[in-house]
Amino acid sequence: MIPHPPSAAPVLEVDDLQIGVRKRPAMQILRSVSFKIHAGETLAIVGESGCGKSMTSLAIMGLLPDAVERRGGSVRFKGAELPITDNRAMRKVRAAQIGMVFQEPMAALDPLYPVGKQVLEVIEEHEDIPRAKAWARVIDLLARVDLPNPEVLAWSYPHKLSGGQLQRVVIAMALACNPEVLIADEPTTALDVTVQAQIMRLLKRLQRDTGVAIVLITHNLGLVAHTADRVMVMYAGYKAEEGQTRDLFLAPRHPYTQGLLDATPNPDRLAAGGGVLREIPGTVPSISDPMPGCRFAPRCPRAQEVCRASVPGPVFEGSHGYACFNPVPAARG
């Protein structure tokens, strides 16, 4: 909960981003996504698979697959628009301005090179400094991500390291050139719960020390509750709700957010006698489903006639915004 003056300029701003499948006008992956993030802040993007959260991160990094195209909107870094569809131009942005951590650390590393070399490569790609100086920085980075014996470990090959250690190396690579934004796409999903805590604590500590803004993409609401300052909930390619973490968890307004919270196992809310979780019926609609209204309407317990007829626009109450015609009442337990 890093406070920032309302006037401070956001470090990253996504405005009405729309992405669809090339040559398939009906297939719309992102319908409209907007958000801002400030220095030192952690924004969690939450949603289930198929909601577009990973596509959002790929778009920001300029890593959109060939099969998809931008249909509208923009991504701005410190006020300047990023050329997200220009792969060559984006190479300068990646790592130097925006770093990224992926779900599978093994897939982000080359099995044929020692991990230290791979961190070194990132530095040399972006900065013109002597090899010895760059190598000293690699060792320093590996130490900063709490890897033991960095001088020795730098020469290890990826398969010699555990999943948690690999993710630390990937974090070191992502932060090698001091980016101002870090996108972490399900960074702990492949890890054990104790290792997950270590990695999240590492990210938060690095954030405290460097002021990097973190976009945390996850489906784990528990993780969000304890690590994010703000939350954006996505559903089927649009932003369903956004707000301060505390507001959103204590008084969710969008029925989807409410449904997600209810479906998540929570020992504190256990019904007497144990048993049934509250489920959301049905599944996420296909990206090509041409339904006219709110895309959550078919699964929504609060859906009305208007929800099936037109798309709800965002409604803001202070910093808490939601896209719903019939929101959950604000005063809740």
Binding stretches for another protein (CB under 8 A) = 48-50, 163, 192-194, 196-198, 200-201, 204-205, 208, 219-227, 245-246, 249-250, 259-261, 263-270, 274-281, 283, 286-287
CA-nearest of 13, 11, 32 to 75 is 13
CA-CA distance, 171 to 100, in Å (whole number)?
8
Nearer of residues 265 and 290 to another protein, judged by Cβ: 265
The token pair that represents 162 in the structure block: 């555990």
Nearer of residues 18 and 227 to another protein, judged by Cβ: 227
Number of DSSP helices (H) and strands (E) in the chain, helices first:
12, 12
CA-CA distance, 9 to 7, in Å (whole number)?
6
First-last CA distance in the chain: 24
Question: What phi and psi, each to the nearest 5 degrees, are found at residue 138?
Answer: -60, -50
We find the least distance from the C-beta atom of residue 169 to another protein, in angstroms, to be: 19
Number of other residues whose CB lies within 10 A of the CB of residue 25: 10
We find the least distance from the C-beta atom of residue 291 to another protein, in angstroms, to be: 15
Three-state secondary-structure class, residue 119: helix
Nearer of residues 93 and 206 to another protein, judged by Cβ: 206
We find the least distance from the C-beta atom of residue 81 to another protein, in angstroms, to be: 32
We find the least distance from the C-beta atom of residue 281 to another protein, in angstroms, to be: 8
We find the least distance from the C-beta atom of residue 222 to another protein, in angstroms, to be: 3
We find the least distance from the C-beta atom of residue 282 to another protein, in angstroms, to be: 9
* Structural element, H or E, at residue 71: strand 68-77
With a CB cutoff of 8 Å and minimum separation 6, the contacts of 71 are 18, 19, 20, 28
Please name the residue ranges forming H helices in the chain.
53-61, 87-93, 105-108, 115-126, 131-144, 150-153, 163-175, 193-210, 221-227, 245-250, 255-263, 305-309
Nearer of residues 223 and 232 to another protein, judged by Cβ: 223
We find the least distance from the C-beta atom of residue 41 to another protein, in angstroms, to be: 14
Nearer of residues 96 and 197 to another protein, judged by Cβ: 197
Nearer of residues 133 and 205 to another protein, judged by Cβ: 205
Nearer of residues 50 and 114 to another protein, judged by Cβ: 50
